[in-house]
Amino acid sequence: MTDLPRTADLGFAKLDVDRAARTGTPEVVFAGGKTPPETVGCLAGLVDAGAPLAWATRVDEPTAAAVRQRWPDAHVDPVARVAWVGTPPPPVGEVLVLTAGTSDGAVAAEVAATLAASGVGCRRVDDVGVAGVHRVLAVAPDLAAADAVVVVAGMDGALPSVVAGLTDRLVVAVPTSVGYGAAFEGLAALLTMLTACAPGVLVVNIDNGFGAGVAAARIVRSAQR
């Protein structure tokens, strides 16, 4: 097997430097469970390998500080917990990002940052949960204008079911860990979304704004092909 993709071997990490070519998204550093030096090391490895954008998620305060110290002009979004070095591509298309409540905002911010880093446009409309369903109905024009829809909801996670019945766009559903008791850290919303009575809903992991953003970007790029 002579033509395996290239790997940048840092010892503690093997960077998959051809991943952007293969999948449209570069290897992105998951900072959860890594020390700040490990995350900075991975980002530096990607920069050294020529990545136009070296990018990390789940960036906590100490890691953000370490990134800024190494690259003073790095972009850090403390709400989304995302950091990057370099310049994202200019945005194409538009993804509509809805939240059920204000408390879901941090996850929606991760979706938005992921779209920005991916060079995809984003429009956010917040706090349109089904307890006041007229707020959902009011986003009909936004749905019609979007290439794809991401719906972020905790607690009962009921919003994607309603949205998917209103549009022919693909609905990417993100359950969040907002809630308490029988919300079970997002499990209730996750199950709701998996069993949505409206088809056209696809689900990512709890609080996984990054995965939702990457998926939505793939849809937009698919539409641009």
Q: Does 78 bind a copy of itself (CB under 8 A)?
A: no
Query: What is the pattern of x (binds a copy of itself, CB under 8 A) and - over residues 206-225?
Result: xxx-xx--xx--xx-xxx-x
User: Among 48-56, 65-73, 82-90, 193-201, which window interacts with a copy of itself (CB under 8 A)?
Assistant: 193-201
Joined together, the tokens standing for residue 148 give: 């794809």
* Closest to a copy of itself by CB, 122 or 167: 167
> Which 8-state DSSP code applies to residue 160?
H
Among 40, 71, 127, 141, binds a copy of itself (CB under 8 A): 127
How far apart (Å, rounded) are the C-alpha atoms in residues 149 and 202?
A: 11
Residues 145-174 binding a copy of itself (CB under 8 A) are 147-148, 154-158, 161-162, 164-170, 172
Joined together, the tokens standing for residue 43 give: 């980002």
Q: Does 34 bind a copy of itself (CB under 8 A)?
A: yes
Strand (E) positions, the chain? 8-9, 14-15, 29-30, 53-57, 75-77, 82-86, 92-99, 120-125, 148-153, 171-175, 201-203
* Closest to a copy of itself by CB, 84 or 179: 179
Q: Does 196 bind a copy of itself (CB under 8 A)?
A: yes
* Closest to a copy of itself by CB, 73 or 111: 111
How far apart (Å, rounded) are the C-alpha atoms in residues 39 and 62?
A: 11
Three-point CA angle 204, 210, 211, nearest 5° = 35
Residues 51-70 binding a copy of itself (CB under 8 A) are 58
Among 128, 142, 151, 152, binds a copy of itself (CB under 8 A): 128
* Closest to a copy of itself by CB, 73 or 197: 197
What number of H helices and E strands is found in the chain? Answer: 9, 11
